[in-house]
Amino acid sequence: MNEIKLNKQVSLKQWRASFCTACLFLVLLSCKSTNSDTQHADLLSLSLVGGLSDAPAEEPVELDLPQIKKRGRLIAIVDNSSTSYFIYKGQAMGYEYDLLTRLAQKLGVDLEIVITTSLDKAFEMLQRGEGDIIAHNLTITKERRAKIAFTLHHNEVRQVLVQRKPKAWRNMTLDNIDKKLIRNPLDLAGKEVYVKKNSSHFSRLVNLSDEIGSDITIREEDPSVEVEALIKKVAKGEIDYTVADENIAQLNAAYYANLDVKTPLSFHQRIAWGVRTNAPELLKAVNSWIKDIRKTPDYAVIYNKYFKNRSNMKMLASSSYSSISGSQLSPYDKHIKDAAAKIGWDWRLLAAVVYQESKFNPEAESWMGASGLMQLMPETAEIFGAADPMDPRQSIMAGASYLQWLDKFWADEVPDPDERKKFVLASYNVGQGHVLDGRKLARKHGRDPQVWEDNVAYFIEKKADPAFYNDEVVSLGYCRGSEPVRYVKNIMQRHARYRQLIPDEVAPEGVKEPLLASAK
């Protein structure tokens, strides 16, 4: 928690004093060593408005829509929260995330997610080209307009006060509850309110203090602290007040029945995304998409899913299978971790394979006869020791053993272990024969047979073309190559998302050994 930097209470009248006056006052008192001096020194290091740092703006990189399309992916900077971006039972979710996936589809590119809870860091990353769009719950302000270009707004919300209901509120009438709560912003005079550093909530409290003609003691938390974490502190009685956007506050009030979020502190404000000021083509494309999607039922469904269906969101956010409140991906994590440790894989990568195959449904069956969590064909299940492929543990262990066998198959041909995983995954999906054909074609056409993307993957996709699948170097003929390429891509992207939100676990020490029976 950063309470105006050195954990000292600071009057907003002092805060609103002019910068020059503060500097002069500091010089006059520089020979003294008092707490008052320290407070004034602290003030000089902060933004006078509380929106963003006063440091000179970093020049944004030259990176607009044509370069993004050429790169093939849109990099979005998001928040980790119950409405922005999280993982539930292995699936990426969130209001911002769902909208971003549709935007990326419209632009014809992949979506890459980067997480940061600090707005200062988000703005820096945007300017450096480490992200293309900030998809936080951003309130449009004048100060921020000087730093970024805002898209058309996709939502309008008010800021509200988050406070606890009285202890015996369940036995009280609504009128008696209201009498115990702050309903008039004037009553915030002298109160202590916690907000996230450099947030629009801080700016609003500064202005509110001027409007009511009295001081509000504002304590600023570290930029990495989530607004939802502050709301939770109020619910637990660790702090008395915070401020949040109304949709976020109402959603969290469904989680915590002892919260009251009915006192507005602002008029409706527009919520938008931000892009670099020198990316007009990206801004134009995003704005055009926003205009269109706001008219569709799809947008209403997405909004209602996260902000209106509060009982469902309460369940999602409180589940041990949600990255918001837990660290599990599925009920089968223990089996996945055991199997991954044996074959030397990150367990989250193996989990991404299981999700891709069956969405963690142990009773899944395909039209081709594959079954279970790892979608093993009967012959493969038998070879690798799964007597009952519908049994979760047997399926995971047999599937991992098969992946281990494939890894050994490719070890000499693809020495780089990270690159080799892509060949292993493709082989798991389509068989190593088609992957070998892709390598032969890559070698023939001057590409690198040890590299997956834009090399072997490119020619596996080409195996749907007679000019390639009839080539004399090809052994297995036609292949719908887009499927294994997409399979590998989806798993690697899902693994990256799991790594962002799900903690790693150290594999047990010991020699890696086969899980079950090996193929001969």
Task: Tell me the domain boundaries of the chain.
Answer: 12-44, 65-156+271-318, 159-266, 333-501
Q: How confident is the model at residue 505 (pLDDT cuts 50, 70, 90)?
A: low
Which is nearest to 122 in space by CA: 71, 83, 84, 73? 84
Note the pLDDT of residue 117.
Answer: 83
Q: Would you give the distance in Å from CA 107 to the centre of its chain?
A: 20
Q: Would residue 4 be called left, alpha or beta, if left means φ above 0 and alpha means ψ between -120 and 50 degrees? A: left
Note the pLDDT of residue 311.
Answer: 80
- Asked if the domains 65-156+271-318 and 159-266 are classified in one and the same CATH topology, the answer is yes
Cα angle, residue 43 at apex, residues 13 and 31 outer, rounded to 5°? 110
CATH number of 333-501: 1.10.530.10
Rounded-to-integer distance, Cα 464 and Cα 484, Å: 12
Rounded-to-integer distance, Cα 354 and Cα 332, Å: 10
Contact assessment for residue 434 and residue 460, using Cβ atoms and an 8 Å cutoff = yes
Specify which residues 194 forms β-bridges with.
219, 242
Specify which residues 76 forms β-bridges with.
113, 133
Dihedral of alpha carbons 217, 41, 197, 62, sign: positive
Q: What is the DSSP string of 117-168?
A: S-HHHHHHHHHHTS-SEEEEEEEP-HHHHTTSEE---SEEE-EEEEEEPPTT
Q: What is the DSSP string of 263-309?
A: EE-S--EEEEEEE-TT-HHHHHHHHHHHHHHTTSHHHHHHHIIIII-
Specify which residues 195 forms β-bridges with.
220
Note the pLDDT of residue 115.
Answer: 92
Beta-carbon count within 10 A of 187 CB: 14
pLDDT > 50? residue 520: no
Three-class secondary structure of residue 382 per DSSP: helix
Measured in degrees and rounded to the nearest 5, phi and psi for residue 361 equal -100, 110
Task: Please tell me the least confidently modeled range out of 40-44, 81-85, 138-142.
Answer: 40-44
Question: Which residue did the predictor score with more confidence, 503 or 13?
Answer: 503
pLDDT > 90? residue 97: yes
pLDDT > 60? residue 23: no
pLDDT > 70? residue 63: yes
| CB-count burial class (<10 Å; 0-12, 13-18, 19+) for 33 | exposed
Q: How confident is the model at residue 254 (pLDDT cuts 50, 70, 90)?
A: confident
Please give the mean pLDDT across all residues of the chain.
86
By annotation, the residues acting in catalysis are 357
Contact assessment for residue 382 and residue 390, using Cβ atoms and an 8 Å cutoff = no
Which is nearest to 425 in space by CA: 495, 329, 511? 495
Output the furthest CA–CA distance in the chain (Å, rounded). Answer: 88
DSSP 3-state percent helix, strand, coil across the chain (nearest 5): 50, 15, 40
First to last CA, the chain: 60
**What is the residue whose two structure tokens read 């509380």?**
50
Q: Which helix (H) or strand (E) holds 263?
A: strand 259-264
The pLDDT tens digits of the residues spanning 294-320 come to: 999 999 999 999 888 878 877 877 788
Rounded-to-integer distance, Cα 220 and Cα 217, Å: 10
**What is the residue whose two structure tokens read 């979710």?**
93
The pLDDT tens digits of the residues spanning 134-143 come to: 998 888 988 8
Judge: domain 65-156+271-318, CATH 3.40.50.300.
no
Which is nearest to 272 in space by CA: 284, 262, 287? 287
Rounded-to-integer distance, Cα 460 and Cα 454, Å: 10
Contact assessment for residue 402 and residue 431, using Cβ atoms and an 8 Å cutoff = no
Report the pLDDT averaged over residues 123-139: 93
Q: pTM of the entire structure?
A: 0.77
Three-class secondary structure of residue 241 per DSSP: strand
Contact assessment for residue 1 and residue 219, using Cβ atoms and an 8 Å cutoff = yes
Radius of gyration over alpha carbons of the chain, in Å?
28
Superfamily name with CATH number, domain 159-266: Periplasmic binding protein-like II (3.40.190.10)
Q: What is the DSSP letter of 515?
A: S
Dihedral of alpha carbons 347, 383, 355, 484, sign: positive
Specify which residues 242 forms β-bridges with.
162, 194
Cα angle, residue 274 at apex, residues 269 and 275 outer, rounded to 5°? 155
Task: Please tell me the least confidently modeled range out of 30-34, 278-282, 496-500.
Answer: 30-34
Torsion angle, CA of 129/131/132/136, rounded to 10 degrees? -140
Q: Strand 192-196 to strand 149-150: parallel, antiparallel, or no bridges (unpaired)?
A: unpaired
Note the pLDDT of residue 32.
Answer: 38
